[in-house]
Amino acid sequence: MATTNLSYYDKTTIPNAKTFRFGIVVSEWNPEITQNLKKGAIEAFLDCGATEENIISWDVPGSFELVYGCKKMIQSQNVDTIIAIGNVIQGETKHFDFVCEGVTQGIVDLNIKYDVPVIFCVLTDNNKQQSIDRSGGKLGNKGIECAVAAVKMAALKNIDRTSDSIGF
């Protein structure tokens, strides 16, 4: 469980994102959470040098559908990295476990199968307050943290294009 502000990053340690194309696939379930995560990710991309036209965003109905949305984006949009944004809150049934396990494994599988890093930005919290705290609340915004990871992974993916080292 995060205990520090997720929004802090040092831009001097992050590659410039100017030449990278980013994808964001966002679950429509719990939109007050997922839209805040998306907003944080886009703001961080822009702060790191990305251009608005190089950020593509698609919505899918729920977190389980993130895997398929990411796969289709990989196959059709020529992106350097993708952030999968979702929110699953523990309920009274095992549905939480099945969704979380399926999405997690699906994103792992995409990272193995394709040469496009997919960043896991799915909040899996015990209650709504924990999700609020991590999507722009007292613990910052996990979307920002995931955008920074996406920039770093885009640089790693394109190491031969950018230089011999990724500089972080």
Catalytic residues: 95
φ/ψ (deg, to 5) at 80: -85, -35
CA angle 147, 153, 156 (to 5 degrees): 150
The CA distance from 104 to 86, in Å, is 11
Strand-pair category, 22-27 with 81-89: parallel
Contact 85, 121 (CB under 8 A): yes
Q: Report the SS3 class of residue 73.
A: helix
Q: Report the SS3 class of residue 51.
A: coil
